[in-house]
Amino acid sequence: MEEQQRPVQPGGGGAPPEEQWRGAVEAALPGTPASAAWPHVASFYAAHRYLPGIDVCERVGDGGEDGGLLLVPGCVRHVASSAAGLWAREELLEAPDHAARRLRYAVVDSNMGFGRYVATLRVLDGGGGCRIAWAFECDAVRGEGWSEAALVARLAASVDGMAERVQQAVAAEAEARAGEEEEEDGVAG
């Protein structure tokens, strides 16, 4: 009997699939309404304002303008930590969903060992405030010091820092509004 040959599949044809990592981390923002936190999280080109360690966040090429509504899928940002020597290019996968308070992006290039990496940031209502949730799925990261637990720990520290900075920004906005209202009251009186 003649042996039939199986066609060879791209990527190893029958080799086990790449190990996948998935996880999620959250941070609470007590006393901060989700509607006040969301504009900060949705600011795709403002990661340097909210993520500890990130000091560069720039638009790459043509893309939507920041401010939420004009961001379109395919926008790319370059984020970097000068101190750590790390960088990534991240692509917006879908327009920010303001009703669901959801932002999805993918790392399309980096010097951190990522293959496929997709993240979803959400601002969720919670008792007495809100929460920022950061979910991810990626191919296992290859490189010195990387493990799934290390990635989750890094993201947990990032979302905690983001929550703290968003709370500070929301509080500063509230103080500025209160000061403007006092000035208006003083002029009217």
Query: pLDDT tens digits for 41-68?
Result: 999 999 999 999 999 999 998 655 554 4
- The pLDDT value recorded for residue 16 is 42
Percent of the chain with pLDDT over 70: 82
- The pLDDT value recorded for residue 61 is 82
- The pLDDT value recorded for residue 127 is 79
- The pLDDT value recorded for residue 5 is 39
Tokens of 173: 């906005």
**pLDDT for 93-145, tens place per residue?**
999 999 999 999 999 999 988 889 999 999 999 879 999 999 999 999 877 78
Residue 33, domain member (yes or no)? yes
Q: Is the pLDDT of residue 82 over 90?
A: yes
Query: Band of the pLDDT at 4, cuts 50, 70, 90?
Result: very low
The residue-averaged pLDDT of 164-176 equals 96
Query: Band of the pLDDT at 177, cuts 50, 70, 90?
Result: confident
Residue 3, domain member (yes or no)? no
The residue-averaged pLDDT of 156-168 equals 97
Residue 173, domain member (yes or no)? yes
Residue 49, domain member (yes or no)? yes
Percent of the chain with pLDDT over 90: 70
Query: Band of the pLDDT at 10, cuts 50, 70, 90?
Result: very low
Residue 60, domain member (yes or no)? yes
- Report the CATH number at residue 40: 3.30.530.20
Q: Is the pLDDT of residue 184 over 90?
A: no
Dist. CA 90–CA 48, nearest whole Å: 13
CA angle 140, 142, 143 (to 5 degrees): 140
Structural domain of 56: 20-183
Domain count for the chain, please give it.
Answer: 1
The residue type of 154 is R
Residue 166, domain member (yes or no)? yes
Nearest Cα to Cα of residue 79 among 105, 50, 45: 45
Sequence-distant (≥ 6) Cβ neighbours of residue 70 within 8 angstroms: 64
Q: What is the mean pLDDT of the chain?
A: 86
